[in-house]
Structure 1
Amino acid sequence: MLRTPDATASLRRATIHDVPSIVELLTDDPLGAGRDGAEGAEGLQTYVRAFEAIDADAAHLLLVAESDGMVVATMQLTFIPGLARRGALRAQIEAVRVHADLRSSGLGRAMFTWAIAEAKRRGCGLVQLTSDKQRPEAHRFYSGLGFIASHEGFKLAL
């Protein structure tokens, strides 16, 4: 259970039935609306296939926060083994979204607190994330959690 002064939600592993709600959260801002979205059941099929791949791989954990029977937040936590940093296991946090009505309620902070504790529990030596340069509010939020903008990221669309 995630409790904040302004919100209470249960955090759980996402199910296939949550996919439409997760997509709604992903598209609930101009940046997400431009790169995500689905029209009807057919449009959701790419998301369903991605969900099935995520759910089948123990290195991935797709989570939703639920309040009053409604999905109000989501995040993906991926555990990445590597040789760098003396073979440290890394936790990668991605696709964090909180419903517009609950932003600034403390729910996002509570989710990150849980994710960081889970990364420690699993023996990770590092928690990392990427954030689009067009999200300055998110950057302030991550800095407030103790994350440091230590690297420049690069992507190549295929």
Structure 2
Amino acid sequence: MQTKIQFRTATENDLDSIVAMLADDVLGSKRERYEQPLPDSYINAFKAIKSDPNNELVVACNSIEVIGVLQITFTPYMTHQGGWRATIEGVRTSASVRGKGVGSELIKWAILRAEERGCHLVQLTTDKTRPDALKFYERLGFKATHEGLKLKL
């Protein structure tokens, strides 16, 4: 990517771009609701994230637009001697920049942010139907060391 990418905390004005990116893939198109006006659930989630000092919604921008997003959550654990972990969720890049290094830069930024916050571990999950995403994260140094389970409520 030739344009320098800037990373910043998302604002409510970014929600339209964020939800559009979340909805713009095979899985996201089935579970997100990108419509105007945006459903209140997205605004409420944004406000909850913004008010929580252990949650950050971060956007990647080129000089004119939001081109990537992720959420990073910092959690204290009793394990690992009371250490902190960072969990990365909701990683998306704009279709116009996919394959151009924006996702890699976004994840590298999140890893540095986790180090700044004193985390000993960065974790994330990816859907099993996304083998390319798994390879992407493995190229960045992540290892599939655990089997993750979820219970949909």
TM-score range, shorter chain: over 0.9
Unaligned runs of 5+ in 2: none
Paired with 1:106 and 1:139, the residues of 2 have a C-alpha distance of: 16
Work out whether 1:96 is the aligned partner of 2:91: yes
Counterpart of 1:154 in structure 2 is 149
Paired with 1:45 and 1:76, the residues of 2 have a C-alpha distance of: 19
Counterpart of 2:135 in structure 1 is 140
Counterpart of 2:31 in structure 1 is 35
Compute the displacement of 1:104 (Å). 1.4
Compute the displacement of 1:71 (Å). 1.0
Work out whether 1:47 is the aligned partner of 2:39: no
Identity %: 44
Question: Which residues of 2 match residues 67-86 of structure 1 at below 5 A?
Answer: 67-86=62-81
1:115-140: CA deviation from partner (whole Å, max 9, x where unpaired): 11111111101000011111111100
The alignment's C-alpha RMSD in Å is 1.2
DSSP 3-state at the match of 2:72 = strand
Counterpart of 2:19 in structure 1 is 23
Q: How many residues end up aligned between the 2 structures?
A: 153
Unaligned runs of 5+ in 1: none
TM-score of the aligned structures, taking structure 2 as reference length? 0.95
TM-score of the aligned structures, taking structure 1 as reference length? 0.92
